[in-house]
Amino acid sequence: MTEYAELQERLGYVFQQASLLRLALTHPSVAHEQGAPVQTNQRLEFLGDAVLQLALTRELYEKFPSLGEGPLTKARAKLVNRRTLAEKARAVGLGKYLILSRGEEMHGGRERLSALAKCAKRISQT
């Protein structure tokens, strides 16, 4: 797991299952390029969406007891939007660790907003 030691240090979290971290970093383009069944991070994205929503909902609910549903929903939406997640991913250098196909690499996948935001959600789940 030494290849991800720097990332874990930046995140302030050591992953118990290195295989899940690697899976969270594996872009779907890898499966398309290899033409063979390869696990990618798409299933983790599904789970990560729910986990991130729940964690943020609880945090906002507890920190802002006087806010109603509308303002809480808007605050949560702002926190989980692609731009915000991509900014957080860039801040920790997540793009450097993405596992991409050659084509995705050539077309700037390491800095693509959608790739960074989705990966940030997946890592939040692992």
Angle subtended at Cα 5 by Cα 12 and Cα 44, rounded to the nearest 5 degrees: 70
**The pLDDT of residue 35:** 67
What are the structural domain ranges in the chain?
A: 2-125
Query: How much is the CA Rg of the chain, to the nearest whole Å?
Result: 16
Pick 2-125's CATH classification: 1.10.3720.10, 3.30.930.10, 1.20.1540.10, 1.10.1520.10: 1.10.1520.10
* Percent with pLDDT over 90 in the chain: 38
Q: What is the pLDDT of residues 33-72, one digit of tens each?
A: 766 677 888 888 888 888 889 999 999 999 999 999 999 9
pTM over 0.85: no
Q: What is the pLDDT of residues 83-116, one digit of tens each?
A: 888 888 999 899 999 999 999 899 888 888 888 8
